[in-house]
Amino acid sequence: MTLRLHDARRGGLHPFAPVGDRPSIGLYVCGVTPYDTGHLGHAFTYVGFDVLHRYLEYLGHDVTYVQNLTDVDDDMLRKARETGEDYLELGNRHVTTFLTEMAALNWLPPDHYPRATEHIPHMVELIGSLLDKGIAYAADGNVFFHVAADPSYGQLSKLSLAEMLPIANERGNDPNMPGKRDPLDFVLWQRSLPDEPAWPSPWGAGRPGWHVECSAMAMAYLGTRFEIHGGGGDLLFPHHESELAQSEHATGDRPAVAFWTHAGMLSYQGHKMSKSLGNLVLVRDLLCTYPGDAIRHYLVSQHYRTEIEFVDGDIEASAAAVARLRQACLRADEFAASGAGRGSPPEVAEHRRRFLAAMDDDLDTPRAMTELAALAELALESDEPATVVAAGEAVTELGGRILGLRLAPQADAVSASTAA
């Protein structure tokens, strides 16, 4: 079996393979804009990509995982203005909270965790290339990407130009910025307001647009062509569409990304979880009630690309399921310690095979977890010592290494201390 993953640009599932002869798989995931507390929807996205990260490593790939921090953009500056806090201090505070919560969910930290403010010269250089290529224009201290000059714009989201504008406007586009030739043209560089941070550039002091930040950071760590770019489904347009356009026009290397993958959105009380609707379920609040592994189990029980509706009490069932997996590992440990024989029972091999086949099928974790539960039942119910040991070891390996559940007997203590 080969791992097949979804790619939004080509549509459908495609066999995964490294790009060229690169020694390491490049995985870039759009990170948080740290102006507020993280909610369960963020956790669903990052746990989903954590499983992908772990599975690629399980398959023997070396992975370079990059997740950025959008520490300067409209939302950051607006929130800093509202609270009277320095925008960098505001960002640092929320980054610390985010990392603590993700550690409680047993998320493997990225190899690189760049902040946009550390890469401004890369962004200026990239914008310069787009101007040289004639796909961007400067006006009034701002620089815009000229969408009408790019016939391939829309290749990722599959939206028509008419469909794009209302969505772009909802997600940060200002159609009336001075100097714009077309309302859909997006900002590469913008003149800063008097109370905003500003960096020098050939077009005057200002700050980068949101989309160009990710193009520059991805390229700085992963080069002009890499394997996987991820993020929440609400980033597909305009963020990823614009990122793709910038990266490919700036370098001429196509495709810049082999797989554009997106996590599904999480709803609560019938609506997509959002600050404006006030229906946020905060990770911090859940961690007061449940161990991190129960929350992780709940998130991994859903396929990463599906839209899910969270219902209060859903995590209870996951807490019970994690307890059962741990009992299975414990019983297997006890049998192994008492000198039980080793073997390769065919029913254990069959569940393991089906678990991996489900993972190869675009990370079908719900199906994989059915096999994991069946292995736990074998470890708990079998009268055959070799079966108990082999099934318990399979639970530890597949549930621990791939799904990231802490199943060792002391795991509860670890989970509680990282959440504190």
Nearer to Zn ion, 115 or 352 (CB): 115
If DSSP codes are grouped into helix, strand and coil, which group holds residue 252? coil
Residue 7 structure tokens? 């790619």
Give dist(CA 152, CA 129) in Å, integer. Answer: 18
Give the list of residues 6+ apart from residue 319 with CB closer than 8 angstroms, or none.
290, 291, 294, 297
- Exposed, middle or buried, 268 (CB in 10 Å: 0-12/13-18/19+)? buried
Q: Which is nearer to Zn ion, 214 or 394 (CB)?
A: 214
- Nearer CB in complex with Zn ion: 104/214: 214
Q: Evaluate the CA torsion angle 172, 176, 179, 181 in order and state its sign.
A: positive
273 SS3 class: coil
Rounded to an integer, what is the distance from CA 263 to the centroid of its chain? 7
- The CA-atom distances, in angstroms, between 2 and each of 356, 357, 360 are 10, 9, 6
In the complex with Zn ion, the residue whose CB is nearer, 74 or 360, is: 74
Phi, psi of 267 (to 5 degrees): -110, 155
Closer residue to Zn ion, CB minimum distance, 214 or 245: 214
Closer residue to Zn ion in complex, CB, 30/295: 30
Whole-angstrom distance, CA of residue 327 vs CA of residue 333: 10
Instruction: Return the number of the residue (258 or 419) whose C-beta is nearest Zn ion.
Output: 258
Residues forming the site for Zn ion (CB under 5 A):
30, 214
The CB-of-214 to Zn ion minimum distance in angstroms stands at 3
> Which of residues 249 and 262 has its CB atom nearest to Zn ion in the complex?
262
**Cβ 33 to Zn ion shortest distance, Å:** 9
Q: Rounded to the nearest whole angstrom, what is the least distance from the CB of residue 231 to Zn ion in the complex?
A: 6
Q: How far is the CB of 114 from Zn ion (least distance, A)?
A: 11
**DSSP labels for 332-380?**
HHHHHHTTPPP---HHHHHHHHHHHHHHHBT--HHHHHHHHHHHHHHHH
- CB 190 to Zn ion: min, Å: 17
- How is the beta sheet containing 25-29 ordered, strand by strand? 63-67, 25-29, 226-232, 257-263
Q: What is the DSSP letter of 409?
A: T
CB of 30 to Zn ion, least distance (A): 3
**Residue whose CB is less far from Zn ion, 236 or 391:** 236
Can you tell me the distance from the alpha carbon of 119 to that of 35, in angstroms, rounded to the nearest whole number? Answer: 19
- How many Å separate Cα 43 from the centre of its chain? 9
How many angstroms separate the CA atoms of 112 and 391, rounded? 36
What does residue 167 show for φ and ψ, rounded to 5 degrees?
-70, -45
Q: Which is nearer to Zn ion, 3 or 216 (CB)?
A: 216
Q: How far apart are CB 211 and Zn ion at their closest, in Å?
A: 7
Separation between Cα atoms, residue 411 and residue 292, nearest integer Å: 10
CB of 235 to Zn ion, least distance (A): 6
